Structure formats: structure tokens, C-alpha cells
Structure 1
Amino acid sequence: MKIVRSLAVMVFSLAATASFAQKSDLGAWYMYFGNNKISKKFNLHNEIQYRNFNAGGDLEQLLIRTGIGYDLTENNNNILLGYGFILSRPYINGEKTENIEHRIFQQYITKQKFGRFNLQHRYRMEERFLQDDFRMRFRYFLGLNIPINNKEMLPKTFYGSVYNEIFLNFDSPTFDRNRVYGALGYVINKNMRIEAGYMNQIQENRNRGQVQIGFYNNIPFTKND
């Protein structure tokens, strides 16, 4: 119970910090990630991200992604084909606007382990169908999870999480954005974990911070796993 209370305090503290978004330009992202086995080799990816300009109530973007993946080796080297629906509500000249994007993406994820260090590389290609445009983009993600109170990512383990992700357009300008992230996570059980942290997003003419709270669900949909 002490651990649950500690996590609750951390989550509410981050949300309270994000409530000053209008003054500090700090946003808040609330995220759910599902990666569920549907057979020994195939997995279902499902994801919802609710992104706000502040702690809540001023929606910046709603992102929903899903896809089917296949492990080239046992529980690793996953290739995936997916679809994303993105509703954006940016401010333009002080006025709230609304844009809808449909996105097809292909990705490859490979994982490596060096002692306590759990590395993940993700290579993603995106075909973006905007309301009045079509664009293509490449993304490279490098993530690292390090258990703190155990040597492995076992249940009841706290861990540190960091990542860097760069986005590159196929047209001009080539550089789209870069994200740098750091967080504290907790492994609830072998199939669920939670993270709370901070991400800084660097764009050509903008640098903005985001408080992030994420829940990860890997419960298999097959009895064999």
C-alpha cells in the first residue's frame, strides 16, 4: 500500500505541476500502451494518448494507434503494420482549430540486454494523410530501462527510464522534431507497469516540455503465454 500511495503522490504532483501550463508552456500527456500476444509469434498493439496544453481540459491532441506485429525471433525483433487516427486542436493566431490525420505506419523493434541495461531500438516509417496534404516521415527511437531495487525488471521493481527519438521528414525541412525523456517507473506485475516523467520536445521554432504519465499492459490474449 505504501508503494501505491507513493505512486499516487507522484502522479498527482506531476499533474499539479502541469496545471501551470498556460504560464510555463508545460503540457501533460496521459498515455495507455497495450502490446498483447494473440499467438506465439503475433501480437496486437493498441494505444491511446490524450495530450493536453495543460493538466486537463484543453485538448492538444488525441492519438489512437493499433497494429498487428510478428516476432522474427522468440519475443524479439518485431515487425509491425499499423494505423493511427490523430485529432489535433492547435491554436493558430490565438484561435482554436481542428485537424484530422490518418496515418499508416510500419516499424521494426529490436531489444538488447547488457547486465541491468534493457535497450530498445525502434525504426518507424509513417505515411501521413493530412486533410490537405500527404507526407512521409521516418522516426528512430532509442530507449533504456534500468531496474533500481532489483537486478531484473521483476514485479515490485522501481526502474529508471530514458529515451531519445528523432523525427525526419522526407521533404523539406528534413528535421521535424526531437524528443528527450526521463521517468521513474514501477513494475506492477509481469504484464503491467506504470511510468511518470518529463519529456522535452524540440522543434524548428519551438521547445516545449510535457509531463507524461503512461500505463503499459502486456497481458496476453492467448493461454499459451
Structure 2
Amino acid sequence: MKQLIIALLIAIPLLNVTAQDRETHYSSWNTIDINKKLNDKWSVNTEFNFRRTNFLRDWEQFIIRPFVHYTFENDLDIAMGYSYIKNYNYSDYSSPIDAIEHNIFQQLTIKHKFSTFSFDHRLRFEERFQQNVIETETNSYTIDGIKYRNRFRYKFQITVPLKTFTSNRALRLVVYDEAHLDFGNGLRPEKLDQNWMFLGFSFRASEHIKIRTGYHDIYAKRGDLFINNQVWETTLTYKI
């Protein structure tokens, strides 16, 4: 409960903006996550993220994210990975031209299970290598080298079982909040970059397949502008 209160306190300032300060767009984010368990301790997985916006007309992002996990116990997982991210130009407030980011991340996930629900903490630190977009003349842009930034992400998630059909088929409620802290190119947080809130359902269809779908509300601050991305997000996880 203490962690949930902290997450809400982080999120509330982002919600307190006027319509004049906010740009809203609507997106569909779809992810395929392929997971392979190597043994009791080690596993690998790769995410393929297909993110489209403006009612599916335009690409927003495409992400490939492979990473490797080591599990100390059932409730403690560490991971390292790499993300290839292509950011598309889809509006006046997005990147003015398509640009690519490469990032390396380290991640710690702590799980707590209770009789009727569970909650997770996920802490991720990212080293981000972004193509630097500059304006060469009016409304003309190009890539000029790479800029480096760090970012810390904290995600607090609650999962509540709703109905168990068989040992491999179950329906759960999923709620999470994730705060992104921009560290600039140093090791101290400079600002709250964006905040993600999600409400949806997770359905385990079989031993190998799980589907999570729901509403994902994102606030990001870019200068004096608040950008609200209202997303319907679906993730298909396949365990080999």
C-alpha cells in the first residue's frame, strides 16, 4: 500500500494540466514476447513491439528488445538487455524526422505473492544512445551524431486472480503505474520524463500462451507541453 501511494503521488501532478497545455493522440500498441527457459535459473526472451498511432494510420515506434534473465528465487529476477527503437515522425510534437535509439538496460524485478493477489516492483536503468536530430534550415532536419542520456524506470504492478478455469487457463486483473525519471547524461535525476498507467486483463490460454490487453494512459512532458497518449495495448507471450 505504501508503494501504491508513492506511485499515485508521482502520477497526480501529471494529471493536473489544462486542456490548453495538452496534446492528445490515440494509439494501438501490440507486442509479441517470446520466452525460453534454459534451466531453473536462466531464461531468455525477445520482445517485438509494433506501435501505431493516429487511429492506426501512422507508425509511432518499432522496438526489438532481447534480454537474458537470472532468477535467484521465484520472487527475485535480474536481467540485462538491449533495445533497438525506431521513433517515427507522426506529428508536430514527435521527432521531426525518423530517428533510431539504441539502449542497454539493467533490470531488477521483485515479486510478492499473497493468498488473493500479488504485486511486483520492477526497477530498470537505461543507457540511451539516441540519434541527434538538428534543424539545418527552416523545416529541414538531419541526423548529426549521437547523444547519450540515462533514464530510470520504476514500475509497480498489482495482479488479482479473477477466475481459474483449469490448471493452465486463468483470468487476472492487472493494474500498474510506471514512472520514468530522466537523468540527462549523469547519475542524478533531472525531471520526471513521463508516467504510464495501465488497467487491463491477463488471460492464460494454455501452458505456452498468455494474452494481456487493456487501456494504457501515458503522460509525457516535452518543454511546456504535456502529451497524453491514450493507448489500447495487447501483449501476446509465448513460452517455448
TM-score if structure 1 supplies the norm length?
0.79
What residue is the counterpart of 1:164 in the other structure? Answer: 177
- Code of the residue aligned with 1:81 in structure 2: it is M
Q: How far, CA to CA, are the matches of 1:102 and 1:85 in structure 2?
A: 5
Report the Cα offset of residue 113 of structure 1.
0.6
Aligned length: 195
Task: State the 1:92 CA deviation.
Answer: 5.2
Q: Helix, strand or coil for the counterpart of 1:130? A: strand
Q: Structure 1: which 5+ residue stretches go unaligned?
A: 1-23, 220-225
Q: CA RMSD in A?
A: 2.2
Per-residue displacement from partner, 1:38-69 (whole Å, max 9, x unpaired)?
A: 12211102101100114434110001101111
Distance 1:153 1:106, change over 3 A: farther
- Paired AA for residue 159 in structure 1: R
> Which runs of 5 or more structure 2 residues have no equivalent in the other structure?
1-23, 133-146
- 5 Å matches for 1:37-186? 37-73=37-73, 75-91=74-90, 93=92, 97-132=97-132, 133-150=147-164, 154-171=167-184, 173-186=190-203
Q: Name the residue aligned to 1:212.
A: 233
Runs of 4+ aligned residues of structure 1 deviating over 4 Å after TM superposition are none
User: Which whole-Å CA distance do the structure 2 matches of 1:58 and 1:76 have between them?
Assistant: 39
Q: State the TM-score, normalizing by the size of structure 2.
A: 0.75
Aligned-partner SS, 1:190: coil
Aligned-residue offset at 1:115: 1.2
> 1: CA distance between counterparts of 2:166 and 2:82?
30
After superposition, the Cα gap between the structure-2 partners of 1:114 and 1:45, relative to the gap in structure 1 and judged at 3 Å, is same
**Contact 1:31-1:50 at 8 Å conserved across structures:** yes
SS at the partner of 2:163?
coil
CA distance 1:156–1:69, change in 2 (3 Å): closer
C-alpha deviation, 1:189, in angstroms? 1.6
CA contact (8 A) 2:58 2:90 kept: no
Tell me the CA shift for residue 154 of structure 1: 4.1
